Chains A and B, each alone.
Chain A
Amino acid sequence: MNNLIARAKELLENKIVQVIVGYEAGPTGVARPAFITNPAKADLLIYDERCVQNLAVYLTKPEVRNLGKMAIVATLPVMRSIMMLISEQQIFADNIIVLGVSSDGSLLDIADIKVMQAYIEKSDLGNPVKDRALLVELNKLSKEERFAYWQKELSKCIKCYACRQACPLCYCTRCTVEVNQPQWIPVQSNTHGNMEWHILRAMHLAGRCISCGECGRACPVGIPCHLLTMQLADEVHNYFKVYAGTSEKMSSVLSTFEPNDKESFII
C-alpha cells in the first residue's frame, strides 16, 4: 500500500496525471471511491479487502474525465473493464495509467496495455468462486422453479437502475429504458416489466460482462442480478471460447460471428 501511495504521489507531483482514482476509507470505515488531485492527499489511498467496487465505472463519467489525465487503482475486473472500454472506443489507452493491484494487495508494474494484457491472460477469468456455486445451484433447478425464483427476486426490483449505474460497461448516455418511441421497457416497476429490464440488461452485456459482480452489489434490494450476466459470461465462454476484456482489440461476441458457430436448436 505504501508503494501505491508513493507511486500516486509521484504521478501527481510530476504532473503525469491530474487525478488518481482509488479507494479511501469512509467515516464508517467502509471503502469508498476517492478522486485524489492533490499529492498531499495521496496518503488517504487505501487498498485492502474492503475495496471491492469496480472503479472503472468512473472512467467514462464526464465529471471525472474533466479533471484531466488519470491513474486508476485497478484490480483484475477493473483492468478487464479498461480493456473493454478501449475496445469500445470509450477511453484512450494513452490517457490512463493503470495502478494494478494483485489479489494480495501488492502493487503491480503495469507499464502499458501489453503488460496488462499479459497479466489478464494469466489470471483466472471465470466467474468469482462464490457466484459459480450459486449458478450451479440455480442451474440444478427445474425450469418452473427457476421461473418462480426469478419472479420472486424481480418482484423486489424498484427500477432504481443502480445495477446499470454501477456497471462500467453501461456507459450509454441514453439507455433503452429512456426510449419511449416505442416504450420498450415500462416506466413503472412491476414484475413483468422488471424482468424485461433485466433481460435487456443481460443481453446488452452478453459477451461484454467481465464478471465483476458490481451490479449485484449495487442492488439496494438484494437481487442477485449479476448472476444473469455471469451466466451469459459462462455461456459465451462455452460457445465461443472467449472471455470479455482480455484485449484492447477485442471484438464483441454479438457484433462478430464465425460461419461455423455451433448451435443445436435451429431447425
Chain B
Amino acid sequence: MSDFEPKVVAFVCNWCTYAGADLTGTSRIKYASNVKIIRFPCTGRIDFMLLLKAFANGADGIIVSGCHPNDCHYTSGNFHAKRRWIMFKELMDFMGVDMNRITFSWVSAAEGAKWADVVNTTVTRLREMGPYVSYRDLVNKSVEEEVKNE
C-alpha cells in the first residue's frame, strides 16, 4: 500500500478557495500533486451528484471547499451549500459511503498555506485508507451486471 497514490478531485469556488490555491502557487508552497481542481463560481453551484460521479470515475477522495461563512462573493451560496452538505453527509453515512474520503473545508483567498495543508492532510489520510475498493467494486460489479443483462 506504501506506493499507492490516491486520486483526489477538488471542487472549489472561484472567489475564495480557487484564489487561495492560486496564492499557494504564488507563495511556492509545495503540496501533493494528487489533487486536481475544478473551478465553480460558488460552492452553491456544486451539485452533490458530481461528488458521486467523481467516485464513480475512480476518485479515491474528494475535497469540497469554498468561502468561509459570511465571506461568500454571492453573500449566501456557501450557506446553502453548507446545508446541502449536512444532508448529503448524513445520507452517505446512513448508506455506508465512507465520508472520511471527503474533506469539506473553508479556505479563503488569503489562506494559501491552509490550502496546502488541507490537501496534504487529505492525501495523507487517503494514502493510509488505500484505494476506495468497495466503491470501485460496486461500480465494476454493476458494469458486469449490465453486460450480463444484455
- A interface list, Cβ under 8 A from B: 138-139, 143-151, 155, 184, 188-193, 195-196, 199-200, 202-203, 206-207, 228, 231-232, 235-236, 239-240, 253-259, 261, 263, 265-267
Contacts and interface: CB of A to CB of B under 8 A. Distances in A.
A232 B149 CA distance: 33
B90 A231 contact: yes
Given A192-B142, A228-B95, A265-B99, A259 B79 contact: yes
Contacts of A256: 83
A207 B88 CA distance: 12
Interface residues of B, number: 41
- Which secondary structure dominates where chain B touches chain A? helix
B33 interface: no
Interface string B4-25: 0000000000000000000000
B85 A203 contact: no
A135 B71 CA distance: 38
Given A192-B138, A257-B76, 11 more contacts: A146-B96, A151-B138, A190-B145, A192-B142, A196-B52, A231-B94, A232-B87, A253-B83, A259-B70, A263-B85, A267-B105
A147 B142 contact: no
A150 B141 contact: no
A203 B48 CA distance: 9
Interface of B: 48-49, 52, 56, 69-70, 76, 79-80, 82-99, 103-106, 118, 134, 138-139, 141-143, 145-146, 149
Nearest to B96: A147
Given A188-B149, A192-B56, A255-B80, A203 B91 contact: yes
Nearest to A266: B104
B94 A228 contact: yes
A262 to B, nearest CB: 9
A192 B142 CA distance: 6
